[in-house]
Amino acid sequence: MAKTLGDVMLAVAKLNETKLHSSAEHQMYSLAIPYDGGRYQAVTAYVQADEDDEDWLIVSSAFGHIDDLDPMDLLRRNESFAGIAFVGVEDDGSAVVLARIPLESADEELVVRMVAAVAGYADALEESLIGGDAT
């Protein structure tokens, strides 16, 4: 990654005409992607090391809570979704759409696509499963 993650996320925020919130200490960035009708989809990007100490860029967006959803339905949706994003569950029970790539592979164009895919899939799930903005 030639640019810093912060620089790339700032470009993503400008492209989506939204504000970027950041915690440089934790390499965590969040923004709200605007959609028609005044809706927004909150997206977070952060760096996490794996068991081999390789840094990964993770982009995520919550769309509900697992207690309110059918886990088998979510797994089936993962199977049918063609793209870089997939459904997961955070430790607090938040149902999220995630995408991850090795940080060294993260260029601006790919991060823009990741954010768009994660936000779009989470927004669609939120709309179809929850009935609107849940997070």
Chunk the chain into consecutive blocks of 10 residues (it has 135) and report each block's average pLDDT, rounded to whole numbers.
80 92 84 90 94 94 95 86 85 95 90 93 90 61
What pairs with residue 40 in β-bridges?
34
* For the chain, domain boundaries: 5-130
In what side-by-side order are the strands of the sheet with 21-23? 21-23, 28-34, 40-49, 55-65, 94-102, 86-89
5-130: CATH topology is Yope Regulator; Chain: A, (3.30.1460)
Predicted confidence at residue 133, as pLDDT, reads 59
What pTM value is reported for the model? 0.87
Predicted confidence at residue 85, as pLDDT, reads 87
Of 68, 59, 2, the C-alpha closest to 33 is 59
Predicted confidence at residue 25, as pLDDT, reads 73
Say which residue the tokens 């993770």 belong to: 58
